[in-house]
Amino acid sequence: MTGYEVRLDGVDFAYGAREALRDVTLRIEAGEAVALLGPNGAGKTTLTRLVIGLARPRAGLVRVGDWEVPGKRPDEMARRVGYVFQHSDQQLFARTVAADVAFGPRQLGRAADGVRAALLELGLEGLAAAHPYDLPAPMRKVVALAGVLAMEPGVLVLDEPTTGLDRAGRDRVIRALRRRHEAGVTVLSVSHDLAFVAEAAERVVVLRDGRVVADASARALLRDEAALAALGLRLPPAAALGLALDLPGAPIRMAECAAVLRGARWTAPAVQ
Ligand SMILES: Nc1ncnc2c1ncn2[C@@H]1O[C@H](COP(=O)(O)OP(=O)(O)O)[C@@H](O)[C@H]1O
Ligand SMILES: [Mg+2]
């Protein structure tokens, strides 16, 4: 699967008189995994809606690969860009989980194997016959993600994909996204969950009041206590541990902390 570059150039967007994005220029390379961070109302969801073609910029350009997004039909866009809504109830409509996940791929003429694989990958195989609305909201979001993965798009856009999920569900989502990233898919996720960001993104873009106010590597930004505090966020646990112990390698994931500590082969001080 080849990813596509996602590009915004000088983008303005407003809901009536309410400005939501101001002169946003952002280039996400094909295959990059980027997290979009920012306080409520910063314009994160709006930016994702522009990328998938659900909204048109008032000024500026939005491109996915060689496509100008405004003007593309939704069914065309679905071939390139898979999207999980912040409120994914808006995107489920079939009577069973399996039928919902199968709908998009069938529209695109994809084989049914991808549907079974996506259900398995996200731990939904036991829920295939369930009605999507009988599931708790976080799981409905996982169903929406399965439907998107089964379409095998080159770009994934996910609006707060881990909100409310338990640890197992969250780990499955993280693994699924990492696999897509390794396969070259472009991944753009909106999230306040910094432990998720540490696992699923290599770069972080921060929006505030409709503007890009920071754009840095995940490793740099997730260890910047002051920058995170300004967003009302705290260091992810692994970054906090790494900073407190002055661990080498700037760890931001627990597995990285564990590897450093294992490698150090430190001797515990004798109990007095
Ligand atoms: N449908 C809408 N109508 C009017 N204003 C909206 C609408 N959706 C969002 N806004 C406003 O646009 C701004 C950006 O919203 P949004 O993109 O949802 O931010 P975020 O996802 O970062 O919380 C906010 O000020 C919000 O109130
Ligand atoms: Mg939002």
- For 201-251, write each residue's pLDDT tens digit: 999 999 999 999 999 999 999 999 999 999 999 999 999 999 999 999 999
The CA 128 to ligand 1 mean position distance, Å, reads 34
Domains of the chain by residue range: 6-222, 236-267
* Burial classification of residue 39, based on how many CB atoms lie within 10 Å of its CB (0-12 exposed, 13-18 middle, 19 or more buried): middle
Q: How confident is the model at residue 269 (pLDDT cuts 50, 70, 90)?
A: low
Give the pairing of strands 59-64 and 33-37: unpaired
The CA 159 to ligand 2 mean position distance, Å, reads 7
Q: How confident is the model at residue 149 (pLDDT cuts 50, 70, 90)?
A: very high
What pLDDT is attached to residue 1?
Answer: 66
Is residue 89 within 8 A of residue 135, CB to CB? The reply is: no
Mean pLDDT of the 91-117 span: 90
β-sheet bridge partners, residue 7: 27, 63
The CA 262 to ligand 2 mean position distance, Å, reads 39
Q: Residue whose CA is closest, atom 14 of ligand 1?
A: 43
The bound ligand whose nearest atom lies closest to the alpha carbon of 37 is 1
Q: What is the DSSP string of 118-153?
A: HHHHTT-GGGTTS-GGGS-HHHHHHHHHHHHHHT--
The CA 224 to ligand 2 mean position distance, Å, reads 23
Q: Ligand 1 pocket, 41 CB below 6 A?
A: yes
Q: Ligand 1 pocket, 45 CB below 6 A?
A: yes
Q: Residue whose CA is closest, atom 12 of ligand 1?
A: 20
Query: With DSSP H G I counted as helix, E B as strand and the rest as coil, what are the percentages for the chain, rounded to 5?
Result: 40, 20, 35
What pLDDT is attached to residue 111?
Answer: 81
Among the listed residues 194, 213, 173, the one whose alpha carbon sits nearest the alpha carbon of residue 84: 173
CATH superfamily entry for domain 6-222: P-loop containing nucleotide triphosphate hydrolases (3.40.50.300)
Among the listed residues 204, 181, 199, the one whose alpha carbon sits nearest the alpha carbon of residue 2: 181
Give the DSSP letter of residue 57: -
The bound ligand whose nearest atom lies closest to the alpha carbon of 46 is 1
pLDDT at 267 over 70: no
Phi, psi for 152 (deg, rounded to 5):
50, 55
The CA 86 to ligand 2 mean position distance, Å, reads 6
- 148 to 52, 82, 105, 119, 268: CA distances (angstroms): 13, 5, 8, 11, 48
The bound ligand whose nearest atom lies closest to the alpha carbon of 49 is 1
